[in-house]
């Protein structure tokens, strides 16, 4: 290829044009920076140093000086809402929505922020109205997630199912677990009204949605036991072993009660021993211990706990062992054993809690729905000591 001499003229020309464009951009940025008041930069500095109160004061000065700073209005509204000043955030976003000079995108953003203000303030009807009108917008998926939160709070489970199904279709995240739980909540409402056929239908839908929904089989077993069909109830509860053995402790007491109703106490205890060997759990051990104590006496209960402690040592298990030892001990040793047991019991109770995997919230009672973060099935059915050992 022959060298073209005109390139010698073109290269300096292109370089000069690039330098000129960069200089224009720099001058434009410098000009914009000079137009911003000092309060703006002070506010940014306060925000970076996590001094939100001072940052808000500085930004308010900027907004008063230049009402056209729309993005700063958005920033202030978010800061107000984060600090719990929902009324001020609402006024800020209502002002933006009412402005006639805003373009469509900015007005849509202001409306979306206003919906979050209503939700934060507990004005669920207004929030629902805002988010329902945004399903086809750029904020559609986020709006549907907020709608799902609203329907959960209002316990409108059928609406929650519909929204969760829409989210499953458009989001990479599966909502099958949540939908199954919503069906279980519907079933619980029908059981309270004695509409057992409707409840059974909802529980079957829960299992069709998520085959691993242990709660559905727990509830189906409960319905059978209530109708004195204990053999059928036992079969439903046994299915939990194939779904998720971690949930067996929730069925343990139910299984024992139905086996007793059938006059099969020994079979019930044998089943719990088998479950304990497959899926060790402090709750399962506690239920099996109580059954052995009632059926075979303190010595058998002591041996059951001792053997389990050798396989899976735990402080809560040691508490049960000392309880059995205290019942079987001679009179002269009971005071010493009781002293040790009381000390162990005081410490072990701090470990006898359930803990949410999402937010770390702890509770003495098992929850399908975390009271703190709202997660479904976020509480493993194991005490904190079990979780830490695992």
Could you list the mean pLDDT of each consecutive 10-residue stretch along the chain, which spans 390 residues?
Answer: 50 52 44 46 50 55 52 75 85 81 86 92 94 89 94 95 92 90 96 94 96 95 96 96 92 94 92 88 86 86 84 77 74 72 70 84 88 88 66
Q: What is the CA radius of gyration of the chain?
A: 32
User: 173 in the Ramachandran plot: left (φ > 0), alpha (ψ -120 to 50) or beta?
Assistant: beta
Alpha-carbon gap, residue 355 to 15, rounded angstroms = 64
Confidence at residue 61, expressed as pLDDT on a 0 to 100 scale: 52
3-state secondary structure of 363: strand
Domains of the chain: which residue ranges?
67-165, 179-187+196-269, 280-351, 353-390
Alpha-carbon gap, residue 376 to 117, rounded angstroms = 25
Measured CA to CA in angstroms, residue 261 lies from 186, 224, 232 at distances of 29, 13, 12
The residue length of the chain stands at 390
CATH topology of domain 179-187+196-269: 1.25.40
* 370 annotated as belonging to a binding site for a ligand: yes
Asked if domains 67-165 and 179-187+196-269 share a fold, the reply is yes
Confidence at residue 388, expressed as pLDDT on a 0 to 100 scale: 61
* 373 annotated as belonging to a binding site for a ligand: yes
- Helix 265-278 with 248-261: angle, nearest 10 deg: 170
In a 13 Å sphere around the CA of 20, the CA atoms on its Cβ side amount to 6
8 A C-beta contact, residue 390 and residue 382: yes
Residues 6+ apart with CB under 8 A from 215: 180, 181, 184, 206, 368
Q: Whose structure tokens read 């206003």?
A: 114
Measured CA to CA in angstroms, residue 109 lies from 103, 118, 173 at distances of 10, 14, 24
Dihedral (CA of 386, 387, 389, 390) sign: positive
Q: Could you tell me where the DSSP H helices lie in 83-123?
A: 86-98, 104-121
Q: Whose structure tokens read 């703190």?
A: 372
Longest distance between any two alpha carbons in the chain, whole Å:
113
Confidence at residue 56, expressed as pLDDT on a 0 to 100 scale: 52
Alpha-carbon gap, residue 117 to 132, rounded angstroms = 15
Residues 6+ apart with CB under 8 A from 47: 55
Output DSSP code: residue 27: H
User: Phi then psi for 106, rounded to 5 degrees?
Assistant: -65, -40
3-state secondary structure of 262: coil
Confidence at residue 29, expressed as pLDDT on a 0 to 100 scale: 36
3-state secondary structure of 17: helix
For domain 67-165, the CATH class is mainly alpha
Confidence at residue 31, expressed as pLDDT on a 0 to 100 scale: 43
Provide the token pair at 121.
């303030």
Alpha-carbon gap, residue 97 to 85, rounded angstroms = 19
Confidence at residue 209, expressed as pLDDT on a 0 to 100 scale: 95
3-state secondary structure of 376: strand
* pTM score: 0.77
Spell out a b/e string for 251-264, using b for 16 or more CB atoms within 10 Å of the CB, else e.
bbbbbbebbeeeeb
Helix (H) or strand (E) holding 355: strand 354-355
8 A C-beta contact, residue 315 and residue 290: no
Provide the token pair at 36.
């911003």
Which one, of 134, 119, 55, lies nearest residue 89 by Cα? 119
Helix (H) or strand (E) holding 377: none
Q: For residue 76, what are the β-bridge partners?
A: none
Alpha-carbon gap, residue 131 to 124, rounded angstroms = 10
């Amino acid at each position: 290829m022959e060298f073209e001499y005109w390139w010698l003229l073109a290269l300096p020309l292109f370089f000069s044009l690039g330098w000129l464009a960069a200089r224009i951009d720099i001058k434009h940025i410098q000009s914009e920076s000079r137009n911003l008041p000092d309060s703006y930069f002070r506010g940014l500095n306060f925000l970076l140093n996590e001094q939100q109160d001072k940052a808000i004061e500085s930004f308010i000065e900027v907004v008063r000086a230049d009402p056209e700073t729309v993005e700063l209005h958005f920033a202030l509204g978010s800061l107000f809402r984060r600090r719990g000043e929902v009324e001020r955030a609402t006024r800020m976003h209502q002002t933006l929505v009412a402005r006639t000079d805003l373009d469509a995108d900015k007005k849509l953003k202001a409306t979306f922020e206003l919906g979050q203000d209503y939700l934060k303030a507990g004005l669920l009807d207004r929030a629902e109205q805002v988010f329902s009108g945004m399903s086809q917008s750029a904020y559609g998926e986020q709006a549907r997630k907020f709608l799902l939160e609203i329907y959960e709070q209002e316990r409108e489970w059928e609406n929650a199912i519909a929204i969760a199904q829409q989210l499953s279709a458009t989001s990479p995240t599966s909502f099958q677990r949540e939908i199954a739980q919503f069906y279980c909540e519907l079933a619980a409402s029908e059981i309270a009204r004695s509409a057992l056929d409707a409840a059974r239908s909802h529980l079957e839908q829960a299992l069709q949605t998520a085959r691993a929904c242990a709660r559905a089989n727990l509830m189906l077993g409960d319905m059978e036991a209530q109708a004195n069909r204990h053999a059928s109830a036992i079969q439903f509860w046994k299915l939990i072993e194939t779904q998720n053995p971690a949930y067996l402790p929730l069925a343990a007491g139910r299984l024992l009660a139905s086996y007793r109703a059938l006059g099969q106490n020994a079979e019930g205890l044998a089943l719990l021993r088998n479950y304990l060997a497959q899926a060790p759990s402090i709750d399962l051990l506690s239920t099996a211990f109580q059954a052995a104590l009632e059926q075979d006496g303190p010595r058998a209960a002591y041996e059951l706990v001792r053997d389990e402690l050798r396989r899976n040592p735990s402080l809560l298990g040691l508490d049960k062992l000392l309880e059995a030892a205290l019942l079987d001990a001679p009179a002269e040793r009971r005071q010493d054993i009781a002293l040790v047991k009381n000390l162990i019991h005081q410490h072990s109770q701090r470990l006898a809690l359930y803990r949410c995997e999402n937010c770390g919230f702890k509770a003495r009672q098992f929850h399908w729905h975390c009271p703190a973060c709202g997660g479904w099935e976020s509480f493993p059915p194991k005490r904190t000591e079990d979780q830490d050992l695992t």
